[in-house]
Amino acid sequence: MKTDIEISQAATMLPITQIAEKVGLDQESIELYGKYKAKVTYETIKEKEHEKLGKLVLVTSINPTPAGEGKSTISIGLADALNRIGKKTILALREPSLGPVMGVKGGATGGGYAQVVPMEDINLHFTGDMHAITTANNALSALIDNHIQQGNVQQIDTRRVIWKRVVDLNDRSLRKVVVGLGGPMQGVPREDGFDITVASEIMAILCLADSIHDLKKRLGKIVIGYSFDKEPITVEDLQVEGALALLLKDALKPNLVQTLEGTPAFVHGGPFANIAHGCNSVMASKLALQLGDFVVTEAGFGADLGAEKFLDIKVPVLGKAPDAIVVVATIRALKMHGGLAKTDLGQENVESLKNGYANLQRHIKNMQQYGIPVVVAINEFITDTEAEFSALTELCKKDQVEVKRCAVWARGGAGGEELARTVIETIASQEETDYRKLYHSDDTIENKTNAIVQKIYGGNQAQFSPKAKKQIQLFQQLGWSNLPICMAKTQYSFSDDPSKLGAPLDFDVTIREFVPKLGAGFLVALTGDVMTMPGLPKKPAALNMDVTDDGQAVGLF
């Protein structure tokens, strides 16, 4: 069995200029980053402004389990399959963070014969977008601390700075730090902390901005903290939104790569799916829709988080709802949701599967609420049995949803043709999607939060901590109430308790605190502890990494 990196390195890639040609972009429309990566110029983006948009397919999943779902792999395989059956299809995916790559084996570029390439580059520095975001984020921190040190005209209360520094690494020792030590020439001491780069509000902004102009406006709105009078202080108050936008001027341009089968793929932007919205950039999604007849995209974590945020936060900005939603599951994961232990997943167990279906079912019904047709994709494993799959087909039939098996990991696009045809038929069967919002932005913060808890999670209601209640009042005074809610919740359960698999009932969700992200344009609602800086494991993946004398990556995956 070949590893992902072996398959990837053995692949013959097309020059990226040829991939660009497939979607009608000539050499002048792109900026090369080596032979197999490119960015699209602003001139080209402007030219395509009024193109008709293609059909959008959103790939999401059940609540993730340690059994694995393979959402990226299915997205890639589905796009390859669509191209195989003659549909001009483009992928629009997130770009991976380097931090986890150094920690745990396993990339974010698909797997097996459904990968985007060059995978080493994409998983390491790629075209430098993450580094630009890290730099802009930390330049803002340096400018804040310098402002405080040089007279503090804005009266920034050092105890109330909420802007944190970032690194694109898993580094638990940076979670809580004290900076500015060493005496009067070394800044003003204060508590600070580092997040991982993908948790930076600047990442969320980059992914929601639709132009440099909009990027700059959003950067200006970032609230970095509060004054001694508890007034919010923004980037605009510090007059550095221009400098930050300048640092991001190339990072905002969509990146073009390809799949192993030569499907054009925009891999651009990758905000955390917990404290941010977890989807690729609006710039790349829109361009893909302008250039392709079909676009396959995905959202982070399960459909309760990623897809909900895609539909309630990204769609209003993108101005286009999905025409179909593919919910990915595996037989193994469904059995786990049905109560089977991880060690027993290799054995047939129809009963557990049936029990676990409750998780998939709730996600299906959730997505249907938005007025968008759903297809279920089962990422095949060698241990799946016919009895299990028939039982699942039966259950899906009752819910009037098509379910298709997918073997794209083992066979590439050829293993996803049946799913591709079903997706096409599903889209064709409706004239226009009847996208319905879950809530209206101008509703109260309480009502919007409850809409998500009740209609998506299936819980009783949201409980607000005393702190959260005070914040709701404050945000109303400040005029921040009419923003969508970005839930930060465990991805493992519909509830805020990661151990409650399946489809838990009769629970409340506690909102501990809100975090205003005015630049991104949402209010983050924190439930429980949210990890914004991962740590490294006992034996980090870095220990196995190497590079040959001629520059080939070794041990990356």
Query: Where are the alpha helices (H) located in 370-416, listed in sequence order?
Result: 386-398, 408-411
Is 301 a residue of the active site? Answer: yes
Known binding residue 48? Answer is: no
- The reply to whether 348 sits near a copy of itself by the rule CB under 8 A is no
Tell me which residue has tokens 């794209």: 408
- Strands 156-161 and 223-227, by their bridges, are antiparallel
- Strands 546-547 and 553-554, by their bridges, are antiparallel
Q: Of these, 173, 369, 400, 473, which contacts a copy of itself (CB under 8 A)?
A: 173
- The reply to whether 185 sits near a copy of itself by the rule CB under 8 A is yes
CB-based contact 203:269 (threshold 8 Å): yes
Q: Compute CA 168 distance to the chain's CA centroid, rounded to the nearest angstrom.
A: 16
User: Please, which residues have CB within 8 angstroms of residue 398's CB and are 6 or more apart in sequence?
Assistant: none
Is 71 a residue of the active site? Answer: yes
Of 250-289, binders to a copy of itself (CB under 8 A) are: 250
Q: Which stretch binds a copy of itself (CB under 8 A): 236-244, 301-309, 452-460, 509-517?
A: 236-244
CB-based contact 74:380 (threshold 8 Å): no
Q: Which stretch binds a copy of itself (CB under 8 A): 73-81, 208-216, 332-340, 497-505?
A: 208-216
Known binding residue 71? Answer is: yes
Under DSSP, the state recorded for 323 is S
Q: Choose among 502, 420, 464: nearest CA to 89.
A: 420
- The reply to whether 159 sits near a copy of itself by the rule CB under 8 A is no
Q: Which of 301, 480, 507, 557 is catalytic?
A: 301
Is 409 a residue of the active site? Answer: yes
- The reply to whether 546 sits near a copy of itself by the rule CB under 8 A is yes
Of 32-91, binders to a copy of itself (CB under 8 A) are: 32-35, 39, 42-43, 46
Minimum gap (Å) between residue 178 Cβ and a copy of itself = 5
Known binding residue 67? Answer is: yes
Known binding residue 338? Answer is: no
Angle at 429 between CA 334 and CA 440, to 5 degrees: 70
User: Please, which residues have CB within 8 angstroms of residue 446's CB and are 6 or more apart in sequence?
Assistant: 462, 464, 472
Minimum gap (Å) between residue 173 Cβ and a copy of itself = 3
Q: Which of 55, 71, 190, 253 is catalytic?
A: 71
- The reply to whether 548 sits near a copy of itself by the rule CB under 8 A is yes
CB-based contact 4:107 (threshold 8 Å): yes
Of 97-136, binders to a copy of itself (CB under 8 A) are: 98, 102, 124-125, 128, 131-132, 134-135
Residue type, 418: E
Query: Where are the alpha helices (H) located in 124-200, listed in sequence order?
Result: 129-149
Burial of 139 (0-12, 13-18, 19+ CB in 10 A): middle
Residue with Cβ nearer a copy of itself (195 or 304): 195
Minimum gap (Å) between residue 354 Cβ and a copy of itself = 38
The dihedrals phi and psi of 395, each to the nearest 5 degrees, come to -65, -45
Known binding residue 346? Answer is: no
CB-based contact 525:485 (threshold 8 Å): yes
Tell me which residue has tokens 């059995």: 335
Q: Which of 38, 273, 329, 333 is catalytic?
A: 273
Q: Of these, 8, 138, 259, 433, which contacts a copy of itself (CB under 8 A)?
A: 138
Is 73 a residue of the active site? Answer: yes
Known binding residue 387? Answer is: no
Three-class SS of residue 250?
A: coil
Q: Of these, 186, 444, 447, 476, which contacts a copy of itself (CB under 8 A)?
A: 186
Q: Which stretch binds a copy of itself (CB under 8 A): 179-187, 269-277, 314-322, 456-464?
A: 179-187
- The reply to whether 474 sits near a copy of itself by the rule CB under 8 A is no
Is 105 a residue of the active site? Answer: yes
Longest dimension (CA), the chain: 72
Q: Give the count of beta carbons closer than 10 Å to the beta carbon of residue 407.
A: 21
- The reply to whether 556 sits near a copy of itself by the rule CB under 8 A is yes
Residue with Cβ nearer a copy of itself (24 or 555): 555
Q: Of these, 29, 65, 83, 141, which contacts a copy of itself (CB under 8 A)?
A: 141
Is 489 a residue of the active site? Answer: no
Q: Which stretch binds a copy of itself (CB under 8 A): 165-173, 255-263, 321-329, 347-355?
A: 165-173
Known binding residue 69? Answer is: yes
Q: Give the count of beta carbons closer than 10 Å to the beta carbon of residue 389.
A: 17
The dihedrals phi and psi of 295, each to the nearest 5 degrees, come to -130, 130
Residue 475 is encoded by which pair of tokens? 């945000």
Residue with Cβ nearer a copy of itself (478 or 554): 554
Q: Which residues are annotated as a binding site?
A: 65-72
Query: Active-site residues: which are they?
Result: 71, 73, 94, 105, 273, 301, 381, 409
